[in-house]
Amino acid sequence: MTEVKFDPFSVDVRANPYPHYARLREHAPVYRVERSGFHLVSRYEDVLFVLKHPELFSSRAMQMMMLSGMGAGIESMGGQGLDPAALLRLGERMKDLPFDPLQMMKSPALIAADPPNHARLRNIVNRGFTPRRIAALEPRIREIAREALDRMLSKSEFDLVSEFTIPLPVRVIAELLGVEPERRGDFKRWSDALVAGATGSESENRPEAMIEAFTEFNAYFMEVIEQRRRDPRDDLISTLVAAEDGAAALNPMETLMFAILILAAGNETTTNLIGNAVLALLDRPDLFERVRRDPALVPIFIEEALRFDSPVQMLFRQTTREVAIAGVTIPEGAIVMPIFASANRDAKQFDQPDCFRLERNPQGHLAFGFGIHFCLGSSLARLEARVAFEELFRRVAKLHPLGTETGWVDSFLLRGPRRLDLGFDSA
């Protein structure tokens, strides 16, 4: 039996996790990380099993992990998973929050909710993400993409991440929620702090920054929620506030938690999708030329990019009772991490999974998850990425890497280039 050692925090894994995932799939399909006690699940069929069974694998782990970022940090959980001392420290920190932490614990964000509460929340927020509503955003998304490209391409060299892949989703989400344009800078700062705190990022996880962000975000959004209740507009907050009066209403804390979730879930993920897709093109000049000449290929290119280099690599669940996967018994209460990005490279599901191929049908990839928690923003993310590439290909015939260090987003849950210094030839 080959012994596998895997440390999701190591520099090696960060640089290229895929050979590590391949070893896990082959030799240790359920792997217990020594440092944290987390169980990593890496094969397609097993990841799907986890996602299909919320009664066995509770999403409450998402809430605990998100909150632990504020007080304890995943690292400090040491060998015990959710260790009581870490939770106590978290409790201490939460005293600094501007609202009752208990109320917050009782109002899990959608992504951390289990049935039947999950269905109640999802039914309400779905109203803000109907196909008609999302499709209606296309002209404005195109305008935002064009403005960002105008600015970026006025220079001969630029960092595509800070100039294009970050500002596009931030502006889209800010406008969707109905945030004033002047507060967009704050919005990005809050989003960064929440994501850094929540994703187990080693060097950037400053719990104080997360508490600060929560406090400011809370103050700002409670005001916006109040305003929209008095004077509704055509934005997501108004839709959610209208839902507060309904029979299965969101309470104000749930509205706030949802706004925070959208802020965190909708920004860096989309940034990373576009960044990873650009990386795939830089490695394959023929592919760049082919998709540029035939924009009808953009949607399938984006699907393959989602499969090939998934922006969300893995997430959390917690077992509700003892359960066996691939012959390994996982105890009740254990933290389980389905690795979406590994499932998407499983040769049992995708032929030649390490090749980027437009010819394949990547349908069934798990980059947006599966089942009841399937990504609420998938249509929006696909739309933003399609518009981004359509507009990029209209303006740019070639991109030239400048050879500077790209680096990776500092998170073991999310994957994307930290910066992309490029030059270009005009189309």
- Give residues in contact with ligand HEM (CB under 6 A): 59, 62, 110-111, 122, 173, 261-262, 265-266, 269-270, 273, 311-312, 315, 340, 367-369, 373, 375-377, 380-381
Alpha carbon 376 to chain centroid, angstroms: 11
Q: C-beta of 312: minimal distance to ligand HEM in Å?
A: 4
Could you tell me which residues are beta bridge partners of residue 40? 31, 337
Q: C-beta of 330: minimal distance to ligand HEM in Å?
A: 17
Cα-based distances in Å from 225 to 163, 185, 241, 346: 31, 20, 7, 45
Name the residue nearer to ligand HEM (CB basis): 177 or 210.
Answer: 177
Q: C-beta of 124: minimal distance to ligand HEM in Å?
A: 11
Contact (CB, 8 A) for 209 and 193:
yes
Name the residue nearer to ligand HEM (CB basis): 201 or 318.
Answer: 318
Q: C-beta of 380: minimal distance to ligand HEM in Å?
A: 5
**Range 76-84, long-range pairs (CB < 8 A, 24+ positions):** 77/36, 78/35, 78/36, 79/34, 79/35, 79/36, 79/37, 80/37, 81/36, 81/37, 81/38, 81/333, 81/334, 81/335, 82/335
Q: C-beta of 89: minimal distance to ligand HEM in Å?
A: 25
Name the residue nearer to ligand HEM (CB basis): 110 or 193.
Answer: 110
Name the residue nearer to ligand HEM (CB basis): 135 or 402.
Answer: 135
Q: How far apart are CA 415 and CA 314, in angstroms?
A: 10
Three-class SS state of 417: strand
Three-class SS state of 327: coil
Q: C-beta of 341: minimal distance to ligand HEM in Å?
A: 10
Burial class (CB in 10 A: 0-12, 13-18, 19+), 179: buried
Q: C-beta of 95: minimal distance to ligand HEM in Å?
A: 28
Q: How far apart are CA 213 and CA 25, in angstroms?
A: 38
Q: C-beta of 398: minimal distance to ligand HEM in Å?
A: 25
Residue type, 32: R
Name the residue nearer to ligand HEM (CB basis): 122 or 140.
Answer: 122
Q: C-beta of 220: minimal distance to ligand HEM in Å?
A: 18
Q: How far apart are CA 372 and CA 221, in angstroms?
A: 27
Name the residue nearer to ligand HEM (CB basis): 303 or 424.
Answer: 303
Name the residue nearer to ligand HEM (CB basis): 35 or 52.
Answer: 52
Question: Using CB atoms, what's the residue nearest to ligand HEM?
Answer: 377
Name the residue nearer to ligand HEM (CB basis): 28 or 315.
Answer: 315
- Secondary element (H or E) of residue 257: helix 252-282
Name the residue nearer to ligand HEM (CB basis): 69 or 369.
Answer: 369
CB-based contacts of 266: which residues, under 8 Å, 6+ apart?
169, 172, 173, 176, 377, 380, 381
Going across the sheet that includes 57-58, the strands are: 30-32, 39-41, 335-338, 317-319, 57-58
- Secondary element (H or E) of residue 343: helix 340-343
